[in-house]
């Protein structure tokens, strides 16, 4: 990790450093997955500008050209328990660059969290979506959260396939072009711990505010 990044990091209260991990994507690049931090706001804003109109629409169900400013503080300020977000990043000459975000938020149903996921277009199809999805579900499980909900556009075959291959879907319903799924984390054996191989993704979820 670049020294300038390490020097500026002061862990926020409750920051779960045990969730930091180094991963490989399908073509061999080394990335880092870690919990989001309040000082990621600028990086998150830059990340949004690199998303295509299609990816923005798949994530937010609206083709935002710019997200409302008031959303960003909530996106980066989580309690690391009932609300958690993980980011994927890669180090470069200008510092770390965010490549994807996975998060869960509480719902109106006790014990069920809503999951959302988005990956930068140039990094889609490299297995990063599955790595983020499994990482956020693993983190939720250690915090006593075992049931999940996600919304996806019905024509977003890539994310629907990712979910079908990665989780155990309990129910699925479609209305007005949006598919709502409830699911649980699929049990994995020791051989699955190296899950940083294969898979594809784009985006799932609507604004979690």
Is 35 domain-assigned? yes
- Of the pLDDT bands very low, low, confident and very high (cuts 50, 70, 90), residue 26 is confident
**Please, what is the average pLDDT of the chain?**
86
Is the predicted pLDDT of residue 155 greater than 80, yes or no? Answer: yes
Of 4-8, 58-62, 183-187, where does mean pLDDT reach its minimum? 4-8
Cα–Cα–Cα angle for 23, 25, 31, nearest 5°? 45
**Mean of pLDDT values over 102-125:** 95
User: Which of 171-180's residues contact partners 24+ apart within 8 Å by CB, and which partners?
Assistant: 177/153, 178/61, 178/151, 178/152, 178/153, 178/154, 179/151, 179/152, 179/153, 179/154, 180/149, 180/150, 180/151
Return the half-sphere exposure (C-beta side, CA atoms, 13 A cut-off) of residue 18: 6
Q: Could you tell me if residue 209 is inside a domain?
A: no
**Tell me, what CATH number does 170's domain have?**
3.40.630.30
Per-residue confidence band for 209, with pLDDT thresholds at 50, 70 and 90:
very low
- The token pair at 105 is 């938020």
Range of the domain at 59: 3-7+16-204
Look at the block and give the residue holding tokens 């109106």. 108
**Structural domain total, the chain:** 1
Confidence of residue 95 (pLDDT cuts 50, 70, 90): confident
């Amino acid at each position: 990790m670049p020294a300038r990044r390490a020097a500026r990091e002061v862990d926020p209260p409750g920051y779960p450093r045990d969730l930091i991990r180094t991963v490989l994507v399908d073509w061999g690049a080394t990335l880092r997955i870690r919990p989001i931090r309040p000082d990621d706001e600028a990086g998150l804003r830059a990340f949004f500008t690199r998303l295509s109109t299609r990816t923005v629409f798949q994530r937010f169900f609206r083709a935002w050209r710019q997200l409302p400013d008031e959303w960003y503080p909530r996106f980066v300020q989580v309690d690391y328990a009932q609300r958690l977000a993980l980011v994927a990043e890669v180090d470069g000459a200008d510092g770390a660059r965010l490549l994807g975000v996975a998060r869960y938020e509480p719902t109106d149903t006790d014990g069920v969290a809503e999951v959302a996921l988005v990956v930068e277009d140039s990094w889609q199809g490299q297995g990063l979506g599955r790595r983020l999805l499994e990482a956020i579900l693993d983190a939720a499980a250690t915090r006593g959260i075992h049931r999940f909900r996600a919304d996806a556009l019905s024509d977003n075959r890539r994310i629907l396939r990712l979910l079908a291959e990665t989780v155990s879907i309990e129910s699925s319903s479609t209305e007005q072009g949006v598919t709502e799924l409830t699911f649980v984390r699929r049990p994995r054996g020791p051989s699955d711990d190296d899950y940083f191989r294969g898979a594809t993704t784009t985006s799932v979820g609507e604004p979690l505010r």
